[in-house]
């Protein structure tokens, strides 16, 4: 495959990134061909050494998704980055998506526990018997206030854990993308 064919395939494969990012990626690969030509290599040799344009496009899109998730934190962006990295191969699907799903489910469950603890005083207003079971000999109000305080503390801790978890996910996705690229 010559330079023109390689660049056309890469251009068609780069679909999930912005126009500016696409132009930058295309310039990078143009530069690879320029440098290779200066060293006396043929376009076919350069194209072969760069690899399959479709695979390169997936890697470029995964890197772009990770960068975007760093720049614009949010569930939507981290999900896109995870799917992009998981799409790089079956290995990544197993070692990226499954641990992420497990971690998100555990984090979600912890948030539910925190909300239930915080809601305990309101639960007592509508269903006092349900809280009496938990209190035993201790005054019910004390138990409810204790649960509420624990829920507040848990919620604050979970907010910090979520921030750290987000950064950890991004680092993990970057590491997996580097492994796939062979760095």
The answer for residues whose C-beta is within 8 angstroms of residue 75's C-beta and 6 or more apart is none
pLDDT digits (tens, 9 = 90+) for 3-50: 888 888 988 888 878 888 888 888 988 898 889 888 888 888 888 888
pLDDT higher for 81 or 134? 81
- Percent of the chain scoring above 70 in pLDDT: 90
pLDDT digits (tens, 9 = 90+) for 118-149: 988 887 777 766 655 555 666 777 778 888 99
pLDDT averaged over every residue in the chain = 84
Q: Residue 32, by phi and psi: left (phi above 0), alpha (psi -120 to 50) or beta?
A: alpha
Mean pLDDT value of segment 95-120: 89
In this prediction, residue 84 carries a pLDDT of: 82
pLDDT band for 109, please (50, 70, 90 cuts): very high
In this prediction, residue 68 carries a pLDDT of: 87
pTM of the predicted structure, to 2 decimals: 0.65
The answer for residues whose C-beta is within 8 angstroms of residue 173's C-beta and 6 or more apart is 62, 66, 69, 81, 82, 85, 96
In this prediction, residue 54 carries a pLDDT of: 86
In this prediction, residue 123 carries a pLDDT of: 78
C-alpha 118/C-alpha 115 separation (Å) is 5
In this prediction, residue 179 carries a pLDDT of: 72
In this prediction, residue 139 carries a pLDDT of: 72
Cβ count within 10 A of residue 45: 12
In this prediction, residue 99 carries a pLDDT of: 82
Helix, strand and coil content of the chain, in percent to the nearest 5, comes to 85, 0, 15
């Amino acid at each position: 495959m010559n330079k023109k064919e390689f660049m056309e395939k890469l251009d068609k494969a780069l679909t999930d990134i912005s126009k500016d990012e696409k132009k930058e990626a295309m310039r990078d690969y143009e530069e690879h061909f320029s440098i290779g030509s200066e060293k006396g290599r043929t376009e076919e040799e350069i194209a072969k050494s760069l690899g399959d344009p479709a695979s390169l496009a997936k890697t470029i899109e995964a890197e772009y998704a990770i960068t975007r998730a760093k720049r614009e934190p949010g569930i939507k962006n981290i999900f896109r980055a995870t799917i992009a990295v998981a799409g790089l191969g079956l290995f990544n699907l197993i070692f990226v998506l499954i641990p992420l799903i497990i971690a998100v489910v555990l984090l979600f469950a912890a948030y539910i526990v925190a909300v239930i603890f915080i809601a305990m005083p309101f639960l007592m207003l509508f269903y006092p018997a349900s809280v009496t079971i938990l209190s035993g000999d201790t005054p019910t109000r004390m138990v409810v206030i204790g649960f509420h305080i624990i829920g507040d503390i848990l919620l604050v801790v979970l907010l910090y854990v979520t921030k750290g978890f987000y950064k950890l996910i991004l680092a993990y996705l970057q590491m997996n993308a580097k492994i796939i690229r062979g760095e």
